[in-house]
Amino acid sequence: MKRVTLAVPVYNEEEAIGPFRAAIEELRDELARRFEGGVRLDVLFVNDGSSDSTVERILSWREDTTDVALIDLTRNFGKEAALTAALIEAEGDAVVPIDVDLQDPPALIADMVELWLNGAELVLARRTDRSEDSLAKRSTARWFYRLHNSLAKIQLPENVGDFRLMDRSVVDAVNALPENRRFMKGIFAWVGFTPVFVDYKRPVRSAGKSSFSFWKLWLLAIESITSFSAVPLIMWTYIGLMISMLSLAYACFIVARTFVFGVDVPGYASLLTGILFLGGIQILGIGVLGEYVSSIYSEVKRRPTYLVRTRHGLSPEGSETAKTMNSKQRTR
């Protein structure tokens, strides 16, 4: 029997647990019908520091089945850390990261599993219609993919989120990467493997509201670029060279004009403009450098990506992968 684990990070999603449970029960029936009981479906929740009754509702679900497990983190570490925890702790032959809000339709997983059983190592769910998202969200997503793919060598497939099916070989490759600050979409793309696409229309949220503000999305975009591209650093070499050449050209112009027309008194406006412009360029360059230094500072401390308070339905020490990674952490 093949085992598929759904990796589900949750943060204050008490209203969405009920509809998600109903959708998963329908998915289980579909898998049993289509694959004649040859596929087992587990659900692994990672509670990322929820302050509502999310944990209680998951534990209530767990009382009715042994196929639901919960990892309760000690605080809110962020979705990327929660997803990392889910991938490390998941023990299925294939793992499917999915959000609990049903914007990633669980019914699509049956098609993904069929492709996996036919030999696909990586099945990506691609959004072909995002009309249910706001215009601002669609526009910023489009700009983000274009900016990232123009700056980074690792190309992100457009309109593909975390919702995907990964064979165990893919999950092990992702878990083997050592960095603490993890932009998961970039990591998924970095490990490679040949993808197979399944297209779908993105629906509205089943309940609750998204916890991702514009500021969080902005910080995530910066993290993605600084994690997978050195272009923002390299470009300042060329900006500095261009400003130096323009300054030399302007100096030559001033010398030539002085020989022809004599010495004049320059205006303060042009001098102030030049000082402010160069000062702004320098501060901007320092800011870009600071982003990379911040990433280096975070990595060299080697703090764990997440900490677990309790596990429900899992080994108290965690999976074999988690044990190995924790052992590496302690020896650093």
Structure tokens at 132: 């249910």
What distance in Å separates the CA atoms of residue 26 and residue 19, rounded to the nearest whole number?
A: 11
For residue 132, give the H/E element and its range. Answer: none
Report the CATH number that the domain containing residue 91 is assigned in CATH.
3.90.550.10
Report the percent of the chain where pLDDT is more than 90: 7
Residues 277, 137, single domain; the answer is: no
> pLDDT at position 263, please?
61
For residue 307, give the H/E element and its range. Answer: none
Residues 319, 208, single domain; the answer is: yes
69: Cβ contacts below 8 Å, ≥ 6 apart: 42, 43, 44, 45, 62, 311, 312, 313, 314
Mean local confidence (pLDDT), 207-222? 59
* In the predicted structure, residue 219 carries a pLDDT above the cut 50: yes
Q: Coil, helix or strand for 195?
A: strand
Mean local confidence (pLDDT), 39-56? 89
> What is the DSSP pairing of strand 2-10 with strand 195-201?
unpaired
Residues 219, 273, single domain; the answer is: no
Residues 242, 124, single domain; the answer is: no
> pLDDT at position 46, please?
92
> pLDDT at position 239, please?
74
193 in Cβ contact with 122 (< 8 Å): yes
Residues 296, 307, single domain; the answer is: no
> pLDDT at position 95, please?
92
* In the predicted structure, residue 324 carries a pLDDT above the cut 60: no
Residues 12, 149, single domain; the answer is: yes
Phi, psi of 104 (to 5 degrees): -100, 100
Residues 294, 308, single domain; the answer is: no
Residues 186, 324, single domain; the answer is: yes
Q: Coil, helix or strand for 145?
A: helix
Higher pLDDT, 263 or 300: 300
Domain that holds residue 33: 2-228+303-331
Rounded to two decimals, the pTM is 0.70
> pLDDT at position 192, please?
81
Mean local confidence (pLDDT), 295-307? 76
Mean local confidence (pLDDT), 51-61? 88
DSSP annotation of 100: T
Structure tokens at 61: 């679900």
What distance in Å separates the CA atoms of residue 23 and residue 106, rounded to the nearest whole number?
A: 7
Residues 210, 254, single domain; the answer is: no
84 in Cβ contact with 182 (< 8 Å): yes
Domain total for the chain?
A: 2
Q: What mean pLDDT value characterizes the chain?
A: 78
At 165, the pLDDT band (50, 70, 90 cuts) reads very high
Residues 103, 237, single domain; the answer is: no
> pLDDT at position 273, please?
62
Higher pLDDT, 258 or 45: 45
What distance in Å separates the CA atoms of residue 105 and residue 163, rounded to the nearest whole number?
A: 9
Tens of pLDDT, residues 66-86: 888 999 998 888 888 888 899
Mean local confidence (pLDDT), 73-101? 88
Residues 76, 205, single domain; the answer is: yes
> pLDDT at position 206, please?
52
For residue 195, the cross-strand partners are 122
Mean local confidence (pLDDT), 255-281? 66
Phi, psi of 238 (to 5 degrees): -75, -35
Mean local confidence (pLDDT), 177-190? 81
Residues 281, 164, single domain; the answer is: no
* In the predicted structure, residue 320 carries a pLDDT above the cut 60: no
259: Cβ contacts below 8 Å, ≥ 6 apart: none
Cβ neighbours, 10 Å, residue 43: 27
What distance in Å separates the CA atoms of residue 50 and residue 10, rounded to the nearest whole number?
A: 7
Pick left, alpha or beta for residue 166 (phi over 0 → left; psi -120 to 50 → alpha; otherwise beta): beta
- Longest Cα–Cα distance in the chain: 94
What distance in Å separates the CA atoms of residue 265 and residue 187, rounded to the nearest whole number?
A: 58
The separation between the first and the last C-alpha atoms of the chain, rounded to the nearest angstrom, is: 39
> pLDDT at position 210, please?
55
At 332, the pLDDT band (50, 70, 90 cuts) reads very low
DSSP, residue by residue, 254-301? HHHHHHHH------HHHHHHHHHHHHHHHHHHHHHHHHHHHHHHHHHH
Mean local confidence (pLDDT), 98-123? 89
